[in-house]
Amino acid sequence: DRAAVPLGSIVRLGGTATVGGVDFAMIAGPCAVESYEQMSASVAMAKAGGAVALRGGAYKPRSSPYSFQGLKDEGLRIMAEIRAESGLPVVTEVVDAETVDLVAEHADVLQIGTRNAQNFTLLRAVGQAGKPVLLKRGFGCTVSEWLQAAEYVLAAGNPDVVLCERGIRSFEPSTRFTLDLSAVAVVKHMSHLPVIVDPSHGVGHRHLVKPLALAAAAVGADGLLLDIHPDPASALCDGAQALDRDRWFDLADALRDVLTSL
């Protein structure tokens, strides 16, 4: 019963940026941190399009061990530098319990990726790190398993969890995963936690990001996590799903129209 669901929580990301409540939050940036110059160009793009926070992976859990694995601690240092210069909070993934403290020193928000969504040791560790957590849904997890994963962070003493739907595995190969927008409505009904959507990793193709992003806003998501890149053709990670400047600005404009019409 909707009346039994507590009012939605608002999670502070850093500075004045929040997720949940009345504002729709866009977190944008490249899939991976590649260089200071790339991040500097990315944060300018992100800000100009209205993002409240910058994303970028320093540790990249890739399917293949031969793919770019991220700049690791050097990537964290770049993120921290860009954060200091731009004033935008930064979101980055932490892939194991050993590096939680290091990542927490450099980032405002700790992202748990889909492949670690049920790594309970890691979930407990980020629950004690004193930073908000962006928890991706495991691509093989039910909504209930996803919410129980969030409970590991909450039970460890951290109330600041943002859920992120990023697509689940299905039999359909035309998108990278199957973005489960119905899960947004389900989670909104079941939980007080804010929920955002990552259409970039969900669909895997930039031409499909806009329609799914608009649909996420319409279905009641509290925000979006988006891959943008100053030069997607040169991206070291997931370039096919990254929005270039024009596509990002076009999406941001279209989102404003959808959000005002709701």
Q: How far is CA 127 from the centre of its chain?
A: 17
Compute the least distance from the CB of residue 79 to ligand PEP, in Å: 13
Q: Does 206 engage in binding with ligand PEP (CB under 6 A)?
A: no
Q: Does 31 engage in binding with ligand PEP (CB under 6 A)?
A: yes
CB 221 within 8 A of CB 19: no
Type and span of the H or E element at 239? none
Tokens found for residue 46: 């992100």
HSE-CB of 132 using CA atoms within 13 angstroms: 24
Nearer to ligand PEP, 57 or 232 (CB): 57
Compute the least distance from the CB of residue 236 to ligand PEP, in Å: 12
Q: Does 70 engage in binding with ligand PEP (CB under 6 A)?
A: no
Q: Does 176 engage in binding with ligand PEP (CB under 6 A)?
A: no
Which residue, chain included where needed, has tokens 């969504």? Answer: 117
Cα dihedral sign for 24, 28, 31, 32? negative
Paired with 72 in beta bridges are none
Number of residues in contact with ligand PEP under rule CB under 6 A: 9
CA distance linking residue 208 with residue 11, whole number of Å: 28
Site string for ligand PEP, 150-169 (x = CB under 6 A): ----------------x---
Q: Does 229 engage in binding with ligand PEP (CB under 6 A)?
A: no
Q: Does 136 engage in binding with ligand PEP (CB under 6 A)?
A: yes
Residues near ligand PEP (CB under 6 A) are: 31, 57, 93, 113-114, 136, 166, 198, 201
